[in-house]
Each structure stands twice: as structure tokens, then as C-alpha cells.
């Protein structure tokens, strides 16, 4: 019998040991898997983000003899897919050729089409490209005339094989347009088109600047244009170099090299009968002579290159009642600048040095992406594909086709976290604006305003949630009767199950208009509520004891419900009267016009209330458990020694429960930082940096939710959103780490009580 009992005890102990080991293994495995999941998320975010910080690279592709005429190449270009290239030569030939070898029938360098640019014996002396969106070119001749041409490419599918058929069109007439009535040769040429108007600016061989504006009317039947011309001459002293026209036909930029003085003259062309000089850009003489001018994509920024290798960016900034070009940022090629070639869509540019080196830069991010001899070749002339994926360069009579890897030039640490001076802005700032309807848009990827918005939203939410949540937790755990606590605690905790999308919906569509229309009443309610509670408590204290004894201490707080409802009803009922007394009948107008405080309907106050409502259950539940779990012998001993309930609470219970209370606050903060739907629906989602409680914000989580569906996979925008997610991940990780560290210190400090 004794042996059977011993055997049964041994079997039960062995079973318990197996269960303990299984539980320990399960807990360890679960914890390890959680850590592995966090590490996988961390490294995946890094994997997506890191490519945006890579520099550009250039790889050697093909090389062959320059196709077509052996005359000097004046213009080199390629179509969007970088399959067909073209060049204009000094003898007036326009040649299309296969840029790359695609198959056995399409060899790189094979001439596809060759055309004469004009039906005259005139030689080509200058070529100008209009803004890159039009695809038009103007060719200047030695008889003072110019012809507008347009290379076009039609995609066909003979035998189910895609083929590009190039053609050279003359969209505004077959005959050249007379630019200089005196017939002098065109030395330098600028050309732009805007709608039905186009403008030529030319430097003639006898050093005159001639401007000709043509306004055309097209015959709907014959499709021919009839042009009305308006010309003028601009006197300029000094040796004139390059000319540039802005696409809106309003400004002409003239490079002038004087003795020890390098200038760029800006002329206002809005009135052809009264052309005026609006500004003279005088560059630093120590930078050397000006060797190249270029307008970046968007045609707002002027790039000036010098023979010292110095390249500066200028654009117009408001000041003293007018807009003037100012120097914004600079780059250094460290060799004389021979040419500046801008990209078609981005603010990148390619600086060609007289030594054959090439520098690739991006103005907004202020990054030097590449500098050196591409693929070991000394480049004399360069062309960049419209998609910036191929580069064609002429060197020693050969054409080199190179693969260009430069996917994310817009991003730099200074651009993400520092102030950036964007085009058409009056000063540097932190700006997030990732998309626009314009191809020439300058992306603005500063994470500072949306990180600030995340902190702002969390701050106002915690400002409301922490006092209410902690006060409710302390009262429920310490003062409330057990029977009432069994009802109140689950009721508040079940609030956490409310979908945040519903809270955001109600906040944006119901609460925001209500507070906007009843703002004086709401302010009165916030001011009168604490005062009314204190007055009610004082009045209750003055009540006879026999009445007070009929209500237990734990239920006395229920008597405040009518007080809160009455004060709320009275405040909102008096809202119109208060608005008339204190705000001249228009609260919003008074805040905006008199106090200078901007007011948005969906603002930080709305977010604070709605998100605070969502965070309160988290803070309440954890803090209430921490206070309720304080050993009863500590509070009983304090009371036995003569301390009051309040003294026991503040000096014993709260100190002992402080690790749990702090954890509750940090858990609530983590919830507020990561909240998405409420801030998405209850704010204007404006990425601004202002602590004004009456203005909105944009948070990291809301920004990801709004813009991720519209971002192109693998694009800079896409990867920047992953960077925002990484920043949010670091935010929450840092908060949780600090919380755990402080909690452990508090536990060590008060564990001996």
C-alpha cells in the first residue's frame, strides 16, 4: 500500500516536472519568436530604406564611331527609352541612329534616318532646346534665320516585335524664321515656346542681341501657321556668352564677361516695346570666368558654372517688394566647367569638366552623387536620357553609351532632418510635400514636420488622458467600494474595444463642428468643471453628518454626475451669449483677426479629446491594477499609525505602485504615438510645425496610411514612407526602453517598503 502511494506521488511529480518544462519551453520559445519578429521588422525596414542613400554609379555599355556626318556635333540627345539617339551637326544634318544594340537586327550606331535641316545652303551655327517638356529645338543658321524642329518617335509592332520609327518634323513651318533682319550669322541662340507664342533670342556675329517674339495662328483647314512678329534689340556692353529664355517668355538671361567682372543680366520681356533690365547678377570674382549657364527642370533655378569648377544655384526670392535672384547653394567640380546638362524631370544636373570628368549633383538634397571619369573615359560632350538611366558621351571621335544608376538623388540626411531652401520659397524651412500634378515638381521629403505632428498629437492626447485616467484609477482602486468597482472597472476597460475608426469618424464629423460652433461654451465648461466639482465637494462637506453617513465614501462620487451634466448643459446653453460678450459675436474671427491665432476646424484639440478617450482605458486599467495590488498591510499599517487616507495614498500607496503607474503612462504614450485612424480622420493632415492647439498636424502613421497606396513601389517616395515607418518604430522602441528602465529603477527603490 505504501509502495503504491509512493509510486503515485512519483508519477504526479514527474508529470508536474514535464508540464513545468513544457511551459518554460513554450514561454521561452514565444518570447524568442517575438524578438525574432521585431528584428525581422527592423532589418526589413532597413533593407527597403538603405538604397535611397546610395550614390550614383556609371557602368560602361557600348562604344562605336560617331554615326552619320563627320562634322562637329552641335547637339546630342536620345528618346525616352534610350533606344534611339540623334545628333545635329554643323553642316546642317540631323541623324537618327540606334543608340544601343537590342538584337541582331538593331545594332548600336546604325543610322536610321538622316535629314537636311533646311532647304538652303546656310550652315548651322547654333542650336537651342526649348523647355524639355515640349521637345522642340531651334536651329540657328549663318544667314540670321532659325528653324524649329521636333524629333518624334512612333512605336510600331511589325511581326509582334516592338520597333521605334523616328521622324523629324517642322511643326511651325518648313521655312526658317528670320531672326535678324540684317542677316548676320547667329552665334548663340535661345528659344522657348508658350502656347501659341514662341520667342527667339540670338547673339549675332556682330555682337548684337536680337529678340524676336512670334505669335501664331493656325489655319484649321490647311494646318499652316500665320505668324506676327515683334522684334527688338538689347544693348549690352562686354563679351556676351550664353543666352537663356524662361519658358513663360518673361525673362532673358545674358552672360557677360567683362574685364575682371563676371555678370548675368536679367531682362524683363513682358513688354517688347519697353524691355527693361530687372537685375544684374554679379558673381564673386575669385570664382573665375563664367563658362556655362543652365536652367534646371522646372525652369526656376539658374545654374552658373565657372572656370574654377565652382557651380552656384540661384533662384528668385521675395524681398523689398520684388523678387530677385539670390545665391542659394553651391557645388565644386574642382575643374573648369565646360557644360551643365540638367535632367528632364529632377533637380539633378551633370557638370562636364574641361578635363573630361563628369560630376553628378542634386540641388535640393545638396548631394554630390558622382565625380570622376565615367567608366574611365574623358568626356567631351554628354547627353542624359529623359529617364536618367542612360548617358551618352562623345570622346575622341567615339560615342560611348553608359548605364546610369541614379535612382534616389533627392534624399540626404540634411534634406530629411535639416532646413532646406526650396524653389519659390522665401527662406529655408522644414517641408513635407511628396507629390504634385506637375512633372517638374520639386519633392520635399522633410520628416521633421510629420515627426513633430506625431509628438504634438501624442502630447495633447496625454494632456487629457493622463490626469483623467490616473485619477480614475486611483479613486477606483483605493476609495471605491468593491461592489461598485466590479461595475466601473470592466465598463471602462471595455471602452478599449471601441474601433478607433469610429472614434475618428465621430471626432471629425460630429465633435469638430460642434466645438467650432460652441467654442465659448466648451472653454467655459473646461474652466467651470473643476471649480464646480470643488464647490460641490465643499457643499457636501457642510452637509449634516446624518445625511453624509447615508452615502458611503465609495458611492459619494456618483453625486457628481448631475453636477457635471448641469455645468455642461449650462456652459453650452450660454455659448452664444459668451461669444457676444467676449468675442464680438465671432469667436473664430476674433481668434484669427484680433489675436492672430489660426483656427482649423479639425485641430489638435479635437485629436486630444478623441485620442485621449481612446488612451484612457489603457492607462486606467494598468494603473488601477498597480494601485489595487499594493499590499493591504502597508496601507493598514499607515492608517494604524495615525495617517489619514490621503496621507496613506500619497506617501505609501502611490510610491509603491509608481512602477506600474509609470508603465501605464508609457503604454498610453506608445498607443498615442502609433495611433492612425483618429489622427487621419480628425485632423486636417497638414504637415505644419506649430504648437497651436487650434491647428492640425500630420503624424507619421497617418502619413503612411494616406500616401502609401499612391506611391510607386521602389520609388523614392515609397522608400521615404518606409523610413517614416522606421522612425516610428524607433520612437516606440525608445519609449518602451526608457519606460522599462525607469520602471525597474522605481521597483528597486520602493520594493523594500
Any bridge partners for residue 440, and if so which? none
* Residue in 600, 593, 630 with CA at minimum distance from that of residue 692: 600
3-state class (DSSP) for residue 240: strand
User: Which pLDDT does position 696 carry in this prediction?
Assistant: 87
Distance CA 237, CA 257 (A): 9
Alpha carbon 174 to chain centroid distance? 46
pLDDT confidence bin for 436, thresholds 50/70/90: confident
List, for residues 270-305, the tens digit of each pLDDT value. Answer: 888 888 888 888 877 778 888 899 999 888 899 999
What is the percentage of the chain residues whose pLDDT exceeds 70?
94
d(CA 723, CA 447): 9
Distance (Å, rounded) from C-alpha 282 to C-alpha 277?
14
| Confidence (pLDDT) at 752 | 57
Kind plus residue range of the DSSP H or E element containing 85? strand 84-89
R_g of the chain computed on alpha carbons:
37
Does residue 558 sit within a domain? yes
d(CA 28, CA 486): 34
Residue 9: the pLDDT is 62
Answer yes or no: is pLDDT of 751 > 80: no
Of the candidates 137, 435, 133, 76, the one whose C-alpha atom is nearest the C-alpha of residue 297 is: 133
Asked whether residue 24 is assigned to any structural domain, the reply reads: no
Residue with more model confidence, 391 or 239:
391
CB atoms inside a 10 Å sphere around CB 103? 7
Higher-scoring residue by pLDDT: 162, 321 = 162
Of 349-363, 499-513, 555-569, the range with the highest mean pLDDT is 349-363
pLDDT reading at 161 higher than 90: no
Q: How far apart are CA 297 and CA 132, in angstroms?
A: 8
- The per-residue pLDDT for range 236-259, each reduced to its tens digit, is 777 888 899 998 888 999 988 766
Domain contains 594:
yes
Task: Kindly report, residue by residue over 266-275, the tens digit of the pLDDT.
Answer: 999 888 888 8
> pTM of whole model > 0.75?
yes
What is the mean pLDDT of the segment spanning 98-124?
82
The pLDDT, as a whole number, for residue 4 is 58
Band (pLDDT 50/70/90 cuts) for residue 104 is confident
Segment (H or E) for 216: strand 209-218
Residues 669, 735 contacting (CB under 8 angstroms): yes
Mean pLDDT, rounded, for 564-592: 85
What phi and psi, each to the nearest 5 degrees, are found at residue 399?
A: -105, 125
In a domain, 597, yes or no: yes
According to DSSP, the β-strands at 57-65 and 432-433 are unpaired
The candidate with the shortest Cα–Cα distance to 453, out of 640, 676, 634, is 676
When pLDDT is averaged across residues 406-425 and rounded to a whole number, the result is 90
Instruction: Provide the residue range defining the domain that includes 700.
Output: 448-750
Spatial distance between the Cα atoms of 443 and 497, rounded to a whole number of angstroms: 40
Lowest mean pLDDT among 390-394, 445-449, 583-587: 583-587
What SS3 class is residue 252?
Answer: strand
Distance of CA 411 to the CA centre of its chain: 10
Give me the torsion for CA of 419, 345, 140, 305, rounded to 10°.
Answer: 30
In the 8-state DSSP scheme, what is residue 134? T
Looking at residue 535, which CATH number applies to its domain? 1.10.3720.10
DSSP 9-69: HHHHHHHHHHHHHHHHHHHHHHHHHHHHHHHHHHHHHHHHHGGGGPPPEEEEEEEEEPPS-
- Tell the burial category of 529 from Cβ atoms under 10 Å away from its Cβ (0-12, 13-18, 19+): middle
Q: Does residue 569 lie in a domain region?
A: yes
DSSP type of residue 248: T
Say whether pLDDT at 156 is over 60: yes
Grid coordinates standing for 330?
Answer: 553651391
377, 368 in Cβ contact below 8 A?
no
Q: Report if residue 477 sits inside a domain.
A: yes
Residue 472 pLDDT exceeds 80? yes
Residue 340: helix, strand or coil by DSSP? strand
- 566 domain residue, yes or no: yes
Average pLDDT on 740-746 reads 76
Q: Are 66 and 398 in contact (CB under 8 A)?
A: yes
Closest CA to 303 of 294, 360, 365, 207: 294
Q: Is residue 487 part of a domain?
A: yes
Q: Treating both helix axes as pointing N-terminal to C-terminal, what angle do 519-542 and 575-582 enclose, rounded to 10 degrees?
A: 110
The mean pLDDT of 213-225, rounded to a whole number, is 72
DSSP-derived letter for residue 383 is E
Total domain count, the chain: 1
Amino acid at each position: 500500500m505504501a509502495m503504491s502511494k509512493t509510486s503515485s506521488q512519483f508519477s504526479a511529480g514527474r508529470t508536474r516536472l514535464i508540464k513545468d518544462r513544457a511551459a518554460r519551453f513554450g514561454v521561452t520559445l514565444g518570447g524568442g519568436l517575438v524578438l525574432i519578429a521585431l528584428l525581422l521588422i527592423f532589418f526589413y525596414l532597413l533593407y527597403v530604406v538603405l538604397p535611397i542613400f546610395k550614390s550614383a554609379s556609371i557602368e560602361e555599355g557600348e562604344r562605336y564611331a560617331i554615326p552619320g556626318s563627320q562634322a562637329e556635333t552641335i547637339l546630342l540627345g536620345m528618346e525616352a527609352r534610350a533606344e534611339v539617339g540623334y545628333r545635329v551637326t554643323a553642316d546642317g544634318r540631323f541623324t537618327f541612329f540606334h543608340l544601343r544594340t537590342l538584337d541582331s537586327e538593331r545594332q548600336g550606331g546604325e543610322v536610321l534616318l538622316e535629314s537636311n535641316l533646311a532647304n538652303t545652303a546656310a550652315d548651322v551655327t547654333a542650336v537651342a532646346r526649348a523647355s524639355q517638356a515640349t521637345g522642340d529645338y531651334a536651329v540657328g543658321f549663318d544667314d540670321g534665320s532659325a528653324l524649329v524642329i521636333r524629333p518624334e518617335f512612333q512605336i510600331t509592332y511589325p511581326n509582334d516585335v516592338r520597333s521605334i520609327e523616328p521622324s523629324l518634323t517642322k511643326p511651325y513651318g518648313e521655312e526658317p524664321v528670320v531672326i535678324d533682319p540684317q542677316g548676320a550669322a547667329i552665334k548663340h541662340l535661345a528659344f522657348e515656346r508658350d502656347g501659341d507664342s514662341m520667342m527667339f533670342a540670338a547673339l549675332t556675329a556682330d555682337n548684337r542681341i536680337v529678340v524676336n517674339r512670334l505669335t501664331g495662328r493656325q489655319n484649321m483647314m490647311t494646318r499652316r501657321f500665320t505668324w506676327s512678329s515683334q522684334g527688338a534689340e538689347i544693348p549690352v556692353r562686354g563679351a556676351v556668352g550664353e543666352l537663356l529664355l524662361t519658358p513663360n517668355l518673361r525673362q532673358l538671361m545674358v552672360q557677360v564677361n567683362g574685364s575682371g567682372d563676371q555678370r548675368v543680366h536679367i531682362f524683363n520681356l513682358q513688354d517688347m516695346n519697353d524691355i527693361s533690365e530687372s537685375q544684374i547678377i554679379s558673381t564673386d570674382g575669385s570664382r573665375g570666368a563664367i563658362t556655362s549657364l543652365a536652367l534646371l527642370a522646372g525652369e526656376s533655378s539658374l545654374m552658373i558654372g565657372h572656370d574654377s569648377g565652382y557651380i552656384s544655384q540661384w533662384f528668385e526670392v521675395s524681398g523689398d517688394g520684388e523678387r530677385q535672384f539670390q545665391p542659394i547653394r553651391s557645388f565644386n567640380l574642382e575643374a573648369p566647367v565646360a557644360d551643365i546638362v540638367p535632367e528632364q524631370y529632377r533637380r539633378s544636373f551633370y557638370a562636364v569638366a574641361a578635363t573630361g570628368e563628369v560630376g553628378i549633383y542634386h540641388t535640393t538634397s545638396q548631394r554630390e552623387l558622382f565625380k570622376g571619369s565615367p567608366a574611365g573615359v574623358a568626356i567631351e560632350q554628354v547627353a542624359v536620357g529623359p529617364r536618367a538611366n542612360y548617358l551618352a558621351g562623345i570622346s575622341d571621335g567615339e560615342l560611348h553609351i553608359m548605364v546610369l544608376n541614379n535612382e534616389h538623388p533627392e534624399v540626404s540626411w540634411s534634406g530629411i532632418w535639416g532646413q532646406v531652401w526650396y524653389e519659390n520659397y522665401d527662406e529655408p524651412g522644414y517641408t513635407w510635400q511628396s507629390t504634385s500634378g506637375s512633372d517638374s515638381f520639386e519633392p520635399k521629403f522633410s520628416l521633421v514636420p510629420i515627426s513633430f505632428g506625431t509628438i504634438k498629437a501624442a502630447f495633447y492626447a496625454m494632456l487629457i488622458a493622463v490626469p483623467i485616467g490616473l485619477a480614475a484609477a486611483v479613486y477606483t482602486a483605493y476609495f471605491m467600494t468593491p461592489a461598485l468597482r466590479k461595475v466601473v472597472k470592466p465598463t471602462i476597460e471595455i471602452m478599449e474595444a471601441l474601433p478607433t475608426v469610429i472614434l475618428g469618424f465621430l471626432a471629425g464629423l460630429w465633435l469638430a463642428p460642434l466645438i467650432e460652433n460652441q467654442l465659448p461654451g466648451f472653454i467655459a465648461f473646461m474652466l467651470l468643471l473643476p471649480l464646480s466639482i470643488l464647490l460641490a465637494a465643499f457643499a457636501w462637506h457642510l452637509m449634516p453628518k446624518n445625511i453624509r453617513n447615508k452615502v458611503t465614501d465609495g458611492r459619494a462620487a456618483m453625486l457628481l454626475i448631475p453636477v457635471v451634466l448641469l455645468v455642461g448643459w449650462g456652459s453650452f446653453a450660454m455659448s452664444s451669449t459668451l461669444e457676444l460678450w467676449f468675442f464680438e459675436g465671432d469667436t473664430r474671427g476674433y481668434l484669427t483677426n484680433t489675436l492672430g491665432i489660426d483656427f482649423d476646424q479639425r485641430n489638435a484639440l479635437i485629436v486630444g479629446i478623441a485620442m485621449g478617450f481612446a488612451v484612457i482605458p489603457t492607462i486606467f486599467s494598468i494603473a488601477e491594477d498597480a494601485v489595487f495590488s499594493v499590499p493591504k498591510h502597508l496601507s493598514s499599517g499607515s492608517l494604524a499609525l495615525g495617517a489619514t487616507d490621503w496621507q496613506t495614498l500619497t506617501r505609501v500607496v502611490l510610491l509603491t505602485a509608481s512602477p506600474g503607474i509609470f508603465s501605464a503612462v508609457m503604454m498610453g504614450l506608445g498607443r498615442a504615438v502609433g495611433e492612425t485612424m483618429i489622427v487621419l480622420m480628425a485632423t486636417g493632415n497638414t504637415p505644419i510645425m506649430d504648437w497651436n492647439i487650434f491647428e492640425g498636424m500630420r503624424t507619421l502613421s497617418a502619413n503612411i496610411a494616406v500616401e502609401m497606396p499612391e506611391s510607386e513601389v521602389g520609388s523614392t517616395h515609397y522608400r521615404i514612407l518606409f523610413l517614416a515607418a522606421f522612425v516610428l518604430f524607433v520612437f516606440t522602441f525608445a519609449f518602451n526602453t526608457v519606460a522599462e528602465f525607469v520602471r525597474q529603477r522605481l521597483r528597486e527603490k520602493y520594493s523594500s517598503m
